[in-house]
Structure 1
Amino acid sequence: MSAQGLFPNLFSPFRIGPCTIPNRIVFTGHDTCLPEDGIVNDALVAYLEKRARHGTGLIVLQVSGVHESARYTSHLLMANDDACIPGYRRLVEACGQHGSVLFAQLFHPGREIMESSDGLKPVAYSASGVPQERFGVMPRGLSRARIHEIVESFAAAARRMYQAGIQGVEILASHGYLPAQFLNPQVNRRDDEYGGSFANRVRFLEEVIDAIRREVGDRMAVGLRLSCDERDEQGMGQDIAIETLHHLESRLDYASVVAGTSATLGGSVHIVPPMSYESAYLREESRSLRADLSLPLILTGRINQPHEAEEVIRSGAADLCGMTRALICDPAMPAKARRNDAEGIRACIACNQACIGHFHRGIPISCIQYPESGRELLYDDLGRAETSRRVAVIGGGPAGMKAAVVAAARGHEVTLFEAGRRLGGQANQAQLLPGRSEFGGLVTNLMEELKRADVEVATQRHVTPQTLLEEGFERVVVATGARPYTPPLELLGELPVSQAVALLDGASLPGGHVVIYDTQGDWVGVGVAELLAREGARVTLAVNGLHPGGALQSYVRDSTVARLHDLGVRVMTYARAFGVDDDSVYFYHTGGAEPMVVEGVDHLVLSCGGEPVVSPEDEDRWATLPVTLVGDCLAPRTAEEAVYDGLKAAMAL
């Protein structure tokens, strides 16, 4: 059966303005932290070219600032000077050779300023001087003269894109950015021709679109990205989104629909919704949004797999589907779907750790499952090893599995040894927590890759340096993980104490008043707190940090903390445990060293990270073989580091 037979809508062409998109798969605009000095560089070209090479229909570039005041981070592209044109032309040439269509996002954040390049508090502009809650920004209301200047900067940026050969421009009015600040009556408090009535509040967008049309006419597609609902009581609801699209329909060639706002902690979760949200969760809102609307619609929001996109299009919810994280996780997803290889697709698990999580830390984009993403200049072609060797990988968690897959792909003869009954390591535990079931996809995907790489897998097998030497192995990768760490505590009574991971391994869940002591701020502490609270326990989460989930990507953290709040979980911060008695847990406040006591406790659960299974003495035992330690047995960290360790170790064999 042809791919068109399995996905008749997804792989059919579609017309947007003057452009024919070869299929309905869209790599929507997203920040990568790859550009330097505001211009296109080799890393960004390689990143986007790889998605084009494997058949992505439409690629929308990350935001391009149209005006000097649009610098909302130090990592965005800038399109406010003709010097940008050659860089954009490079992207057109790199992606266009594979048939992909390239659009650019034209951007002004208004008050949504995350950082400045020099670390000083920025000067931000908005429709009015209404403070931004999430970043603590107090903007300056725009004068009429500056409004006109910014309007013309949108037009000039569109002209530069046209000169570079880019085929369409997308005005970013989603997520509470400047055009949305004009539309939102709770942010726009103006009393001139740009404020008050809807006709006045939409005027800024009208002028931007009309100015762009004066520059490029119908030679480029002109679209609008808009939040169908900002998911905040002070944000725009669906009524304004519907009115806006109907009002501007005749001026536009398409609309791109998302949800949420950058302005608040709760609303920003929808910018990149985590795995606790179901796949394609905006499809019904999109369907109602487009009622009586003839404008072509792109829908984005956790559309991870070709069959999900096919159903969205078939049902009439949208014409094209943004599948951005799916393409970060597996750039070859379109090609695999076209050849009916659904099982071969490495499915995104919406962990948010290395995609948007990297952006929020100001480092280049990647993926915990596919660390080659964002590192195309290093790993686009894994190549073949100069000498094929017999390689033993010991430990079947994510680090060992990735090392085995890459080593086999490079031509080595690989055997993966796992002492337990199943592969997956701590990822098997992570998927047992509320809202984390998709994390098991990491294991499922790697197991499929092991099978395709013809890696021999031996479970329930313990090996020693001597047995490996006897069996002729020449290189060894050790990935045996970590054991739970127990901090030093004064035990002055009989209060039961358990490790959090033991509860996920099948131990009976404690009830009554349970204190969870979390020193890591990762998924374990907050996840076990939610699990026990849902089972009826009264939970106190004591965090040795500023807030729960401090190590988690903010959208994952904030949505989790919201659930803990709803479940009545008590949270203590700045807490370092030092002892227990029969029914109390004793803490120091790490800011001031004052004691804090939690009384009436029935059980203490420790979530304090791990310590490597392989000690320095154990490492010395392997001196007879060339050995590389990877993952938690090298240093307990996260799945991201484990998988990347596996890649690097295999490339060095």
Structure 2
Amino acid sequence: MSSASFPYLFSGLTIRGHEIRNRILSTGHQTWLAERNRPGEAMIAYHEARARGGVGLIVNESARFHASAIGEAPDLTLTDDEAIAHYARLAAAVHRHGAKIFGQLSHPGRVTRRMMNGMRGVVWAPSSVPENRFHVVPREMPAAMVAEIIEAAGAAAGRYAEAGYDGVELMASHGLLFAQFLNPAVNLREDEYGGSEENRLRPLREALIAARRAVGEGVVVGLRISADETEEGGLDQQAVLDVCRRLSDEGLVDYINTTLGTMAGPGGSIHVVPPMEIDPAYVAPHAAAIRAQVGVPVFVAGRINQPQIAEAVLAAGQADMCGMTRALIVDPDMPRKSRTGRADEIRACIGCNQACIGHFHAGYPISCIQNPLTGRETLLPLEPPPAARPLRVMVAGAGPAGMKAAVTAAEMGHQVVLAEAAAQPGGQALLAQLLPDRAEFGGLVTNLVTELALRQVEIRLNTRVTAAMLAEERPDALIVATGSAPVMPRIEGDLGDHVVTAADVLTGKAKPGGRVVVADWRCDQIGIGLAILLARRGHHVRLAVSGVCAGQNLQQYVRDLWAGRLHEAGIEVIPYARIYGVDHDTAWFLHTASGAAVTVEGVDSVVLVEGNAPDMTLEREIAGLGLPFVTIGDCTIARSAEEAIYDGLAITRSFLGAVSATQPLPAGEQE
């Protein structure tokens, strides 16, 4: 498929005289790549990679424009003229590759802890209405501060324009400050900024007017807004539609960028970065409702991770541009591949949320479990270093680590054989995709298999690497990626046939009884998924987790989504519970905080969800052979697909580079 296959996606869009080359948008999203709260080399390299890959429009992450919004987090700020030069370098880098760039402006209002020096700071909002995610009761802004914020928004917009940006976008999405002013459940004021619909709109309206005044007629001014906040007490679709219609009719916005949800509650915040369990392009009908009522282009985001999905949204007239942010995080070259007939080469986003928004919530810069180069554009060469000497490389194990290692070795110019003991590649990812509503995780395997085929890597299935095999094959280097195996806990009592493993349940080898307790040591997706799977099959299920809550180790939007589903399914969750005994129809757990016994009666089967230990069999077998080797992925220590794929790229590059540099020249090539 080429651009001819995506005629809507690769048609241009003109907004206020700015020709955007296609309908692919990278929406504003936190990267935490800022340096001293300004764009630096890492952020510039990150966005430049996407501009080089062919994106039409980049909206850089939101900049805080007023002191009341600034904490100690590495957010962008745009509060003084000294910042202009830094933003100008980012704009120039994006323009160099033919893309357009808009700058985003936001104020969190009540949806922040505003941490400073390890302590909570003063949080300002329209009114002192409690917020349900960060558990903040904010301080009401005096009218003078509201006026100051409006003026500051205009000044920051002007700085974007001076930096050479093509447009400016104000955020009234996700329950942020301007949305809080719009919401009668949050804005309880009785002054000129509250009490009536007209007054509640005033801060946003006047900020847009201030932005236009500051940027002049040649710069785009747009709005990002949640079409529905999907939270009790949040703005509903009709209220948002009325706001959009009025701002469009008054000529105050050049486009409207739609999303869904609010950061002010666990349920609404799931839609900030919707995970794979949510349908693709699910926000598009909401965008279409707004588009039917306004006279400006409407953008939409929300699980649009493939060009064919975006094309369908555009062809249906639901939107004028598609936010494909995570699709660009995993594959910056997605637009170029789509346009040049290489759509089958696209590394597709699987919506796992692990290293994009997951890194942000953990306090680390953005990356991607499938693309370790993302967010590390200044740390890792975008192209692998060519081999000093081509090597014969054997990779043992075709899980995510081994597959990525084989791809990387082939990219470096080495001759690669990838051997896998099982009948198909994929490793632990093959189990992960069997969990309920997680089939998309298997896309990780599909993507890597495609990369292997493109690089013509030889794959040998049903082939276990042994010392004897290596003696016969005589490779120059070995990469050990043999994975890991579950560690069985010590359990007292009569285990019998009613204690089974998670893997055996998922693969159908074990058939649990009618009353099941899932003993979840991992506190990740597996225990939750098994509980839901068995409940859907008609079992009575209880989930005992060795942590503070189910999904403790998951990215919070994924965790919260599944917490809701556990509740809806009527599954009892028992926290702080580590299994220590089983007998007939009873399972005993240890309360991990108090040490007291927790007895669960009426149990037919116990499903164990345990951790994994490295498989060191091959490593030990070859220790004395003198063959250069390295371990990667789970056979070093069991972690996740993110670390496995990172190892497959970074460690493989380093290891083979070192081995190649020390290999003697072939006969006839000696100096």
Q: TM-score, structure 1 length as denominator? A: 0.98
Distance between the aligned counterparts of 2:624 and 2:6, measured in 1? Answer: 52
Alignment of 1:233-632 (within 5 A): 233-249=232-248, 250-377=251-378, 378-492=380-494, 494=496, 496-614=498-616, 618=620, 621=623, 623-632=625-634
Corresponding position of 2:29: 30
Q: What are the Cα deviations for residues 105-145 of structure 1, in whole angstroms up to 9, with x where unaligned? A: 01111111144242201211111011111011111111111
Quick one: percent identity of the two aligned structures?
48
Structure 1, unpaired ranges of 5+: none
Corresponding position of 2:170: 171
Q: Is the Cα contact below 8 Å between 1:298 and 1:321 reproduced in 2?
A: yes
The alpha-carbon deviation at position 217 of structure 1 amounts to 2.2
Secondary structure of the 1:46 match is helix
Corresponding position of 2:120: 121
Structure 2, unpaired ranges of 5+: 657-671
Distance change (3 Å), C-alpha of 1:581 and 1:624:
same
The alpha-carbon deviation at position 36 of structure 1 amounts to 2.4
The alpha-carbon deviation at position 644 of structure 1 amounts to 0.6
Distance between the aligned counterparts of 2:479 and 2:496, measured in 1? Answer: 42
Distance change (3 Å), C-alpha of 1:254 and 1:617:
closer
Secondary structure of the 1:261 match is coil
Distance between the aligned counterparts of 1:463 and 1:638, measured in 2? Answer: 23
Instruction: Give the partner amino acid of 2:475.
Output: F
The alpha-carbon deviation at position 494 of structure 1 amounts to 3.9
Aligned residues: 652
Q: Is the Cα contact below 8 Å between 1:257 and 1:297 reproduced in 2?
A: yes
Q: TM-score, structure 2 length as denominator? A: 0.95
Distance change (3 Å), C-alpha of 1:591 and 1:8:
same
Q: Which moved more, 1:376-385 or 1:309-318?
A: 376-385
Instruction: Give the partner amino acid of 1:487.
Output: P
Instruction: Give the partner amino acid of 1:621.
Output: A
The alpha-carbon deviation at position 625 of structure 1 amounts to 1.1
Q: Is the Cα contact below 8 Å between 2:276 and 2:438 reproduced in 1?
A: yes
Q: Is the Cα contact below 8 Å between 1:152 and 1:211 reproduced in 2?
A: yes
Distance between the aligned counterparts of 2:197 and 2:260, measured in 1? Answer: 21
Instruction: Give the partner amino acid of 1:417.
Output: A
Q: What are the Cα deviations for residues 132-184 of structure 1, in whole angstroms up to 9, with x where unaligned? A: 11011111111111011111110110111111101100001100000000001
Distance between the aligned counterparts of 1:172 and 1:644, measured in 2? Answer: 34
The alpha-carbon deviation at position 73 of structure 1 amounts to 6.0
Distance between the aligned counterparts of 1:368 and 1:408, measured in 2? Answer: 20
The alpha-carbon deviation at position 495 of structure 1 amounts to 6.4
Instruction: Give the partner amino acid of 1:311.
Output: A
Distance between the aligned counterparts of 2:196 and 2:496, measured in 1? Answer: 68
Alignment of 1:637-648 (within 5 A): 637-648=639-650
Secondary structure of the 1:379 match is coil
Alpha-carbon RMSD: 1.4
Instruction: Give the partner amino acid of 1:341.
Output: R
Secondary structure of the 1:149 match is helix
Corresponding position of 1:41: 40
Instruction: Give the partner amino acid of 2:401.
Output: A
Q: Which moved more, 1:370-379 or 1:174-183?
A: 370-379
Instruction: Give the partner amino acid of 2:265.
Output: T
Q: Is the Cα contact below 8 Å between 1:24 and 1:321 reproduced in 2?
A: yes
Distance between the aligned counterparts of 1:251 and 1:633, measured in 2? Answer: 58
Corresponding position of 1:210: 209
Instruction: Give the partner amino acid of 2:435.
Output: L
Q: Is the Cα contact below 8 Å between 1:391 and 1:476 reproduced in 2?
A: yes
Secondary structure of the 2:121 match is coil
The alpha-carbon deviation at position 34 of structure 1 amounts to 0.9
Distance change (3 Å), C-alpha of 1:114 and 1:457:
farther
The alpha-carbon deviation at position 493 of structure 1 amounts to 5.8
Q: Is the Cα contact below 8 Å between 2:9 and 2:307 reproduced in 1?
A: yes
Instruction: Give the partner amino acid of 1:589.
Output: H
Distance change (3 Å), C-alpha of 1:9 and 1:467:
same
Corresponding position of 2:228: 229
Alignment of 1:62-77 (within 5 A): 62-71=61-70, 74-77=73-76
The alpha-carbon deviation at position 616 of structure 1 amounts to 9.4
Distance between the aligned counterparts of 2:4 and 2:223, measured in 1? Answer: 32
Q: Which moved more, 1:61-70 or 1:322-331?
A: 61-70
Secondary structure of the 1:515 match is strand
Q: Is the Cα contact below 8 Å between 2:500 and 2:510 reproduced in 1?
A: no
The alpha-carbon deviation at position 342 of structure 1 amounts to 1.3
Instruction: Give the partner amino acid of 2:3.
Output: Q
The alpha-carbon deviation at position 615 of structure 1 amounts to 5.2
Secondary structure of the 1:281 match is coil
Distance between the aligned counterparts of 1:615 and 1:594, measured in 2? Answer: 38
Distance between the aligned counterparts of 2:625 and 2:90, measured in 1? Answer: 49
